[in-house]
Amino acid sequence: MPTNCDTPTTMRSKRVKLGQSDIEVSRVGAGTWQWGGKFYWGYGRSYTDVDLANAFSACISGGINWFDTAEIYGRGRSEQILGKLIQNSQVDKKSSSDRTIVATKFFPYPWRWKHHSFRNALKNSLKRLGVQSVDLYQIHFPLRPRNFKYWVDALADATEDGLVKAVGVSNFTSEQTKQTHEILSGRGIQLASNQIGYSLLNRSPESNGILDACKELGVSVISYGPLPEGLLTGKYGPHNPPPLPRRLRWAGRRLKVLPPLISLMKDIGSAHQSTPSQVALNWLINENSTNTRREISPSGSG
């Protein structure tokens, strides 16, 4: 574990390839689930666009070069905010190595039934982001009624048409990941990533075969929820739960088991001049995965 938080210089020097693509990303990315989320996250009440702009600037200054969003985050508002911030920033006026990388996702709603539904969703995301093509496009969940393989073919079509630079999935099992890899390989396309929930509070990927499958196939693991909505920052506990409605999700036993873990993380952090958040993120980094920090927030504390 590093003795302290990575500096911008070391963050830039520690970039990794996204799967077998040519896209290089920082080991930690910024997730934007909160951006535009009014009901669950309190957008417009607890924080504003000014706070998000400050968070964006802090990420760039800290060496983060990629942001993960989705069409369902804030009903598209997250993509709009991110696209505007990138367009208004000075980052993309530098060398190509400093270009901001964008990842977004397609959500397979049950009423989406045909390939044109996929293409329309992608084009709407591109419009909100203000780009001609997206660096990484992911299938958000392998949901029915359509078999996920149908959407994988649609994703391959979009890649061949130049709308998508790299292909990813999210919340796919090990078997689904293998099947997706096989389908794409048959069309000469590599599966770049699988975005999954993985943290000190959720270590199921270590036993359900996902990590092994991704390693075998050369697919990058993007770990979302590394701080589970701020739980591993040390901010929350049984007597200080998250605000509603998030409190309903984490109430009960999940909060009761936190204090011993947070205490241990603080002990480890104090020996390395690091916070519990840095301990949690460094644990994932040392587990050799690419992290997307969904818990990035305007306050910086989850």
Q: 181: buried, middle or exposed (CB in 10 Å: 19+, 13-18, 0-12)? A: buried
CATH architecture of 8-293: Alpha-Beta Barrel (3.20)
Distance of alpha carbon 241 from alpha carbon 230, whole angstroms: 10
Could you tell me the residue ranges of all domains in the chain? 8-293
Q: What is the pLDDT of residue 113?
A: 84
Q: What is the pLDDT of residue 11?
A: 54
Distance of alpha carbon 100 from alpha carbon 60, whole angstroms: 9
Q: Taking 70 as the threshold, does the pLDDT of residue 282 lie above it?
A: yes
Q: What is the pLDDT of residue 279?
A: 96
Instruction: Give the pLDDT confidence of 116-167 residue by residue, as tens digits.
Output: 999 999 999 999 999 999 999 999 999 888 889 999 999 999 999 999 999 9
For residue 203, give the H/E element and its range.
none
Q: Cα Rg for the chain, rounded, in angstroms?
A: 19
Q: What is the pLDDT of residue 242?
A: 81
Active site residues: 73
Q: Taking 70 as the threshold, does the pLDDT of residue 40 lie above it?
A: yes
Residue with tokens 């329309």: 120
Contact 101, 25 (CB under 8 A): yes
Region 233-258: what's the mean pLDDT? 81
Residue 33 three-state SS: coil
Q: Is 57 left (phi over 0), alpha (psi -120 to 50) or beta?
A: alpha
Q: Taking 80 as the threshold, does the pLDDT of residue 5 lie above it?
A: no
Distance of alpha carbon 102 from alpha carbon 135, whole angstroms: 6
Q: What is the pLDDT of residue 13?
A: 54
Please give the structure tokens belonging to residue 47. Answer: 């924080």
Q: Is 201 left (phi over 0), alpha (psi -120 to 50) or beta?
A: alpha
Region 191-205: what's the mean pLDDT? 95
Distance of alpha carbon 302 from alpha carbon 294, whole angstroms: 9
